[in-house]
Structure 1
Amino acid sequence: MSVDRRSLDVAASFRDALARPEFGLTDGLIGLCVSGGGDSIAMMHLAIRTIDPQRLRVVTVDHGLRVGAADEIALVAGQAARLGLDHTVLNWTWDNQGNLQAAARAGRWKAIQRWGAQNSIDTVMLGHTEDDQLETLLLRLARGSGIDGLTAMARANQRDGMRVIRPLLDVSRADLRGWLRGQGIAWCDDPGNDDARFDRVRARQMFSSLEGLGLTRKRLLQTVDHMQAAHLSLQRAADEFARAHVRQDAGDLVFAPPALAVDREDAPRRVLAAGFSWVGGHVYRPRFDSLIDAARQARTGQQVTLAGCVLAPQTDGGARLTREVAATQVGGRPVAGAADTTGVIWDRRWLLQGAIAPGLIFRALGDGLSQCPDWRAAGFPRTSLRASPSVWQGDTLVAAPVAGLTNGWSARIVADFHSAAFAIED
């Protein structure tokens, strides 16, 4: 039997991608996010030919928005079963708030992240292709994005404690479908992919016009490559700047005056934005204008609340960034894959360890600070301690480790700012 040339190229590209050092694959479980479309269906079949099937788990998110979605889920379930892969369907329901596509992306990721944590999956694989990369670049150009935005999608990155990899970014959508046809593998086409009401579809439809101006796929992908290289250089510079001008104090960040000089230099802007993301527990940074205004107010002695954080001016001209009490989470989740049940992640950053018992509540200390007689000895401002983790049984304060009330409990930051903020990897 003859071999389809495109089949060979696509399979080789997939294998080569997984061998890249930045993918950092471990021997752990890998979640395959499969919707039923051609890209993710191809990813599933390529994965099982490249990776030990015992390490693979398939997940599909049902958004409940289209009647045809049931057929797509059935297709994925059937193919996964024939391949001997475990398949899970997660449900997401839109609350009719905000932009539908943005809400669906956020809801889909949250469901996948929770599923991964519950099943000890440390890596998820997404089926984004070269076409998705180009569309992302065009959309961000239209929004006036800077260098960071124009890096488009990374081949590999960390998000909410999980490794996210995209091994198909060097393969076009057309080549993937050619490979599927050559292998006799069926897939579903989402009618939304041709709906011009969506920005991404309009961006896709621009390709033929742009090529007439010399903006070919190759040129646009070169732009992404240049921006990714520039981004890495700026991240390294920001990392050095942060180590010189930012001090982590438990869950707070203390900025020296140079770190608030955001009017012209990139490094202070990048560092301050990363600080808000880290303290606030957010993937995305505050809007640029809001960030600049917050730094300006802090420099003039004003306290600022932004993105779930409080930026308080210091006597030396710098500022302390603290979690806002009202923005913290109530409750915690067990540490994924832990051998015992003594660990709870609270507010995304803190690991609380102690004697877990039914009915315990994990929340910010808040007014419970008055029940901590030794809080002054902790050496933190009141604002910081009020936002620190605490353990409650009903209305009774059990522990507030940062404020000096331990009762067998401890609290520590899961990943410190300087090791996590700029995601620089060798």
Structure 2
Amino acid sequence: MSVDRHADSVESRFQAALTAGAKSDQTIGMAVSGGGDSLALMQLAARFRAADKLCVISIDHGLRSEAKDEIALVFAQAKALGIDHTVVQWAWDGKGNLQAAAREGRWAAVRDWATMHNLHEVWFGHTEDDQVETLLMRLARGSGIDGLTAMYPLTQRDGLRVFRPLLGLARADLRAWLRSQNIAWSEDPSNDDPRFDRVRARQMFAQLETLGMTRKRLLQTVDHMQAAHLSLQQAALGFANRHVRQDAGDLILAPQALDLEKADAPRRVMAAAFSWVGSRSYRPRFEQLMETVVQARKGATVTLGGCIMTPDEGGAVRLMREAAATSPTVRLHHDAGHPAGVFWDHRWFLEGPLRDDLTFKALGAGIKECPDWRASGMPRASLLASPSVWLGDRLIAAPLAGLSGGWSARIVADFHRSAFAIED
């Protein structure tokens, strides 16, 4: 456990974390669920920053009836502090693992909200306990260095600074501080449900301590893994700067980046490339990655993870988004108080004359209505997966294919700046 267990030291340790990692001259976004950790984050932040420099988002997953009351608690406390509060709805599409989908849905909601409100830094309420639990879960899965880094206090993700100022504080200390300040919080019953890996990891920790796997030693392991991981990421970034070029939403990988037989850097770069182009947070399986690159080096056009890899000039390959792997986004009942833009396929932000019932999707067959698409200089296959705006069956705009219609499209974060950021 932490050496200092006194609740009255929480504020000084939080302030020290801010001094070490936060930027003081900009508005900060915070993800607050209504649980003790995130409410402590909001309440502590309000003691050290002006209310007009803070704003809060809560995600309603629609999975538990209690969530409405939890979010109402956040709203009441945020209002009392003078902090702007936004609620975003998220619905599971029934695909894949629910916990993983909810995690990705939360991040996407936070990222989109931050970008729409011109925020450059977001804070999360992960604690020292979360760090230990994350390490134990990843040990159980046989994770390598990347997984065993657990969580960093300060990272970059999708062009945002992600800060975890509570990562050096224990959950028990935060609860004690909340009680001392007469601040209420909600308890999520799923935090005690043994069906979830994190709960089982928490329950297992007491037994591991008897074997010498104390909190202090586990956190030392995280520190060692983070140092190793940072070195590998820096090497990969340097390699990518030399051998990977971004062309709008595509990546051009030089021949040197295709040799995955021995060194870590090209493997790391290739995996990051597929994740970035495919708009996925996880990497393809190594065996699939290797086979795909082997076939591309032989001159074949191959697909993997929502991406198309095809030979390019001089022995290079071009990695493109696969149009069929994208999903349309429909913007209904536009709120005129929000900026005139919409996110599509996790990487693109489109700005233009919003109106109700527009659909944003891959251009696809609509390229036939773009007679000047060749002037873009982009391959036809790339443009098929580029963002376009539709009203029913009528193409309104395809910015990359030469049909502006008053719209523009930009990548939210470029490959080199975002793909090698230190992410959890």
Shorter-normalised TM-score: what interval? 0.7 to 0.9
CA distance in 1, matches of 2:358, 2:375: 26
Query: What is the deviation of 1:77?
Result: 4.1
1:141 to 139, 142, 161: 139
Query: What is the deviation of 1:40?
Result: 1.9
| Identical residues among aligned pairs (%) | 61
Query: What is the deviation of 1:248?
Result: 2.0
For 2:174, give the aligned amino acid.
L
Q: SS state of the match for residue 300, structure 2?
A: coil
Q: Which residue of 1 aligns with 2:223?
A: 225
Change (3 A) 1:249 1:92: closer
Q: Which residue of 2 aligns with 1:246?
A: 244
1:216 to 211, 214, 217: 214
Q: In the TM superposition, what are the counterparts of 1:13-162 in structure 2 within 5 Å?
A: 13-21=13-21, 23-24=22-23, 26-35=25-34, 37-117=35-115, 119-162=117-160
Q: Which residue of 1 aligns with 2:180?
A: 182
Q: Which residue of 2 aligns with 1:417?
A: 415
For 1:259, give the aligned amino acid.
A
For 1:142, give the aligned amino acid.
A
Change (3 A) 1:178 1:421: same
Alignment root-mean-square deviation, CA: 3.4
For 1:321, give the aligned amino acid.
L
Structure 1 stretch 121-130 or stretch 216-225: which is displaced more? Answer: 121-130
Specify every segment of 5 or more residues in structure 1 that has no aligned partner in the other structure, as ranges.
none
Retained in 2: the 8 A contact 1:29–1:120? no
For 1:251, give the aligned amino acid.
G
- Under a length normalisation based on structure 2, what TM-score does the superposition of the two structures give? 0.85
- The CA deviation string for residues 114-145 of structure 1, in whole angstroms up to 9 with x for no partner, is 44455554433221100100110111111122
Retained in 1: the 8 A contact 2:27–2:54? no
CA distance in 1, matches of 2:40, 2:64: 22
- The CA deviation string for residues 153-186 of structure 1, in whole angstroms up to 9 with x for no partner, is 1222344454332111001112222222333333
Q: Which residue of 1 aligns with 2:12?
A: 12
2:400 to 384, 399, 402: 402
Query: What is the deviation of 1:200?
Result: 0.8
The answer to whether residue 198 in structure 2 is matched with residue 200 in structure 1 is: yes
For 1:33, give the aligned amino acid.
V
Change (3 A) 1:411 1:115: closer
CA distance in 2, matches of 1:138, 1:224: 11
Q: SS state of the match for residue 162, structure 2?
A: strand
Change (3 A) 1:26 1:307: farther
- The CA deviation string for residues 84-137 of structure 1, in whole angstroms up to 9 with x for no partner, is 444444444445554333333333334444444555544332211001001101
Q: Which residue of 1 aligns with 2:285?
A: 287
Query: What is the deviation of 1:356?
Result: 5.8
Q: Which residue of 1 aligns with 2:319?
A: 321
CA distance in 2, matches of 1:265, 1:149: 19
User: Per chain length, whose mean CA-contact separation is higher, i.e. which structure has more relative contact order (CA < 8 Å, sep 6+)?
Assistant: 2
Q: Which residue of 2 aligns with 1:173?
A: 171
Q: SS state of the match for residue 163, structure 1?
A: strand
Q: Which residue of 2 aligns with 1:266?
A: 264
CA distance in 1, matches of 2:36, 2:395: 54
Query: What is the deviation of 1:42?
Result: 1.9
Retained in 1: the 8 A contact 2:32–2:74? no
CA distance in 2, matches of 1:412, 1:189: 41
Structure 1 stretch 315-324 or stretch 371-380: which is displaced more? Answer: 371-380
Structure 1 stretch 279-288 or stretch 71-80: which is displaced more? Answer: 71-80
CA distance in 2, matches of 1:409, 1:45: 41
Structure 1 stretch 77-86 or stretch 251-260: which is displaced more? Answer: 77-86
CA distance in 2, matches of 1:301, 1:403: 27
For 1:19, give the aligned amino acid.
T
Retained in 1: the 8 A contact 2:30–2:42? no
Change (3 A) 1:67 1:298: same
Q: Which residue of 2 aligns with 1:385?
A: 383
Change (3 A) 1:58 1:168: same
Structure 1 stretch 102-111 or stretch 215-224: which is displaced more? Answer: 102-111
Q: In the TM superposition, what are the counterparts of 1:277-356 in structure 2 within 5 Å?
A: 277-314=275-312, 316-331=314-329, 345-352=343-350
Structure 1 stretch 251-260 or stretch 181-190: which is displaced more? Answer: 181-190
Change (3 A) 1:368 1:178: closer
For 1:222, give the aligned amino acid.
Q
- The CA deviation string for residues 263-309 of structure 1, in whole angstroms up to 9 with x for no partner, is 32111111111211222233333233332232222223332212221
Retained in 1: the 8 A contact 2:361–2:389? yes
CA distance in 2, matches of 1:411, 1:66: 37
- The CA deviation string for residues 47-105 of structure 1, in whole angstroms up to 9 with x for no partner, is 11111122233443344444544554454444444434444444444455543333333
Change (3 A) 1:108 1:143: same
Q: SS state of the match for residue 321, structure 1?
A: strand
CA distance in 2, matches of 1:42, 1:171: 11
CA distance in 1, matches of 2:399, 2:288: 33
Structure 1 stretch 52-61 or stretch 239-248: which is displaced more? Answer: 52-61
Change (3 A) 1:263 1:43: same
Retained in 2: the 8 A contact 1:34–1:58? no
Query: What is the deviation of 1:366?
Result: 2.1
Q: SS state of the match for residue 248, structure 1?
A: strand
Change (3 A) 1:67 1:251: closer
- Under a length normalisation based on structure 1, what TM-score does the superposition of the two structures give? 0.84
For 1:61, give the aligned amino acid.
I
CA distance in 1, matches of 2:69, 2:199: 23
Q: SS state of the match for residue 20, structure 1?
A: helix
Query: What is the deviation of 1:19?
Result: 1.6
Change (3 A) 1:415 1:189: closer
